[in-house]
Structure 1
Amino acid sequence: MPRAAGRTAPSRRTRATPDTVARLAVGHDAVVLAVSPPRGGIEATEPLLEVGRGVLDGVRRAGVRRLVVVGGAGILEVSPGVRVVDTPGFPEDALPPVRAQVALFELVRDNADDLEWTYLSPPAVITPGERTGAYRTGDHQLLSDGEGNSQISTEDYAVALVDELQRGEFTRRLFHVAY
């Protein structure tokens, strides 16, 4: 199993400067960037992009080639060309963090050709539950079951993340998991 950096996101007091990220990542095989933008209508794009730029530069300085970014479901499409975030009734206060996640995905996609990056999107709902080790994967289309539910347990979402770290099946692209 690859060795991932012990701290994958800086604390509130530590900025994601390239030097900080490099110091934390050196000697590891992979870095997982899992940071949630602030909610409640707060503009989140520039702070998240600052973190993303710091992580990209820092992993390069550390010599780490593998980066997995844990993103959000709002970036996924419910139909061709229509993202979850663009659907009628999408909560207004959730727009800034979802737009920030979209911008982070685009930053990584457009600026990390030299890295083995992956962007992991969850389904619409993640709840504590059972670890089954079974899940479906997709690309930009939101996966749902026969009843229209798009979900996974937190346990199986974590399994999907570790599976990708070990296998590298979805390198240089977004992938999505759900039941």
Structure 2
Amino acid sequence: MKIAVLGATGWIGGTITQEAMSRGHEVIAVVRDASKVSQDINVRTLDITQMSAQDIATAFADVDVVIASVSGRAAQNHEVVAQTAAQLLQHLPQAGVPRLLWVGGAGSLEVAPGVTLVSTPEFPEEYKAEAIAQGEALAVFRSTDSAAKWTYVSPAAIIFPGESEAPYRLGGDEFFTDAQGQSRVSVVDYAKAMLDEAESAKHINQRISVAY
């Protein structure tokens, strides 16, 4: 497959890029600043804060799957997350791109019916704005009438640097933990789950969650 990774110079996006390359896919890094790409890889530029339909069409031309890893953390412009989701859903089908996989958040997972993780008192304050933004993006996906086949992939509450530790498990909207009561996954195993979904297309127009 030809896979474009939007946000390929970020921590999660970069790990996904490496996983896709290791599997033999043709990978395109779609980034704002091409000078930050260190891999020997095809690079296209796109600034998500000011992109048009034509910009999207150019950045993702002849691509089978887009994997988007978007965050407003660095510039504290969290509104860009849901905005980017909406624009990609609108314009990717017009550009001939059939599928969009999204690096989501854990905050919108439900710890009880109708109760999200981000709404609990224990949720760290410093991550709330980012979690809320990802929840807004999930709402965009769930309300879309786009022809794009999307999958929103939530990581565990704790996603950490490191190699594969254990077989990951997939869930849906419900927050789940391991035998020790922890919600965690390594960034490498999260990337494996993302590429497994890209290859299998088992969860079209759904949110899935990944944890040990």
Aligned residue for 1:4?
A: 3
Q: Is 1:18 the counterpart of 2:53 in the alignment?
A: yes
91, 107, 130: which one pairs with 2:163?
Answer: 130
Aligned residue for 1:64?
A: 97
Aligned residue for 1:160?
A: 193
Q: After superposition, what is the alpha-carbon deviation per residue over 1:62-118, rounded to whole angstroms, capped at 9, x for unaligned?
A: 111100011111011112211110111323332222111111111122114422100
118, 121, 124: which one pairs with 1:88?
Answer: 121
If the length of structure 1 is used for normalisation, what is the TM-score? 0.88
Cα drift, residue 144 of structure 1: 0.6
Structure 2 contact 71–78 (Cα < 8 Å) conserved? no
CA separation of 1:96 and 1:53: change in aligned 2, threshold 3 A: same
The DSSP-based 3-state class of the residue aligned with 1:26 is coil
Aligned residue for 2:78?
A: 44
In the alignment, the residues of structure 2 paired with residue 60 and residue 31 of structure 1 have an alpha-carbon distance, to the nearest angstrom, of 11
Aligned residue for 2:135?
A: 102
CA separation of 1:156 and 1:112: change in aligned 2, threshold 3 A: farther
In the alignment, the residues of structure 2 paired with residue 50 and residue 155 of structure 1 have an alpha-carbon distance, to the nearest angstrom, of 27
Count, aligned residues: 176
> What percentage of residue pairs aligned between the two structures are identical?
33
Cα drift, residue 55 of structure 1: 1.6
Aligned residue for 1:149?
A: 182
- Please report the RMSD computed on the Cα atoms of aligned residues, expressed in angstroms: 2.2
Cα drift, residue 10 of structure 1: 4.2
Q: After superposition, what is the alpha-carbon deviation per residue over 1:34-62, rounded to whole angstroms, capped at 9, x for unaligned?
A: 1112279x4623x2222222222331221
Segments of structure 1 that go 5 or more residues without pairing to the other structure are none
Structure 1 contact 8–31 (Cα < 8 Å) conserved? no
Query: Which amino acid in the other structure matches residue 44 of structure 1?
Result: H
In the alignment, the residues of structure 2 paired with residue 25 and residue 133 of structure 1 have an alpha-carbon distance, to the nearest angstrom, of 34
The DSSP-based 3-state class of the residue aligned with 2:2 is coil
In the alignment, the residues of structure 2 paired with residue 141 and residue 10 of structure 1 have an alpha-carbon distance, to the nearest angstrom, of 34
Segments of structure 2 that go 5 or more residues without pairing to the other structure are 5-27, 34-44
Hey, which bits of structure 1, 4+ residues long, moved more than 6 A?
A: none
